Amino acid sequence: MADIHKLAPFILSWEGGFVDDPWDRGGATNLGVTLSTWRQVGYDKTGDGIIDIDDLRLLTPDEVIFEVLKPHYWDRWRADEIRNQSLANLLVDWVWASGLHGIKIPQRILGVTVDGIVGPKTLTALNRRPPAALFDQIHKARLRFINDIVRNDPFQKRFLKGWQNRINAIRFEA
């Protein structure tokens, strides 16, 4: 079964420190966590009564992994139940980067109900497919997805190479 401790270093290696790029639709981000995500799942680290950029700047890698990644992304994919680590890495990283698209598009590929909820039918379909071929299908779909983002919003082209590099860095291992 897949293990979050194998994915977490990969995610952290691709996420820099604090960034507030005006072209990034996610807005202010630290270690890959947007301010909007931290407001939903985090807490007031500074104790000033509001969750804001000051709190986001104080995030630690352990908080990112155990308070954000594990409960809100890894568990959302029920990744502990995915038999192939490479598939778990590709799927969880996709939902980390793109929200529900990282569940709905793979559900479409698997031929299950596309509802954005990973339940027993999605997991069974996932675990029954030959992992290498499925990994290749999902990998290609993810690359098409980011190319569609850029086609629909050319201002996002500045991020395309980085997105491609990140996706291509996730390799299949049996």
Please give the pLDDT value at position 27: 87
Q: Which residues pair with 19 in a beta bridge?
A: 29
| Domain parsing of the chain, residue ranges | 4-169
Query: What is residue 29's DSSP assignment?
Result: E
Q: Which CATH architecture has domain 4-169?
A: Up-down Bundle (1.20)
- The alpha-carbon radius of gyration of the chain (Å, integer) is 16
Please give the pLDDT value at position 26: 81
Please give the pLDDT value at position 24: 81
Q: Which mean pLDDT values do the consecutive 10-residue runs of the chain (174 residues) have?
A: 96 92 86 94 94 96 96 98 98 96 98 98 98 98 98 94 97 92
Residue 48 makes CB contacts below 8 A (sequence gap 6+) with 54
Residue type, 114: V
Helices (H), the chain: 4-14, 35-41, 53-57, 61-63, 85-98, 101-110, 120-128, 131-152, 157-169
Please give the pLDDT value at position 120: 98
Angle between helices 157-169 and 4-14 (to 10 degrees): 150
Residue type, 68: V
Distance CA 44, CA 156 (A): 31
Q: Which residues pair with 34 in a beta bridge?
A: 29
Structure-block tokens of residue 18: 């604090």
Please give the pLDDT value at position 35: 94
Residue 165 makes CB contacts below 8 A (sequence gap 6+) with none
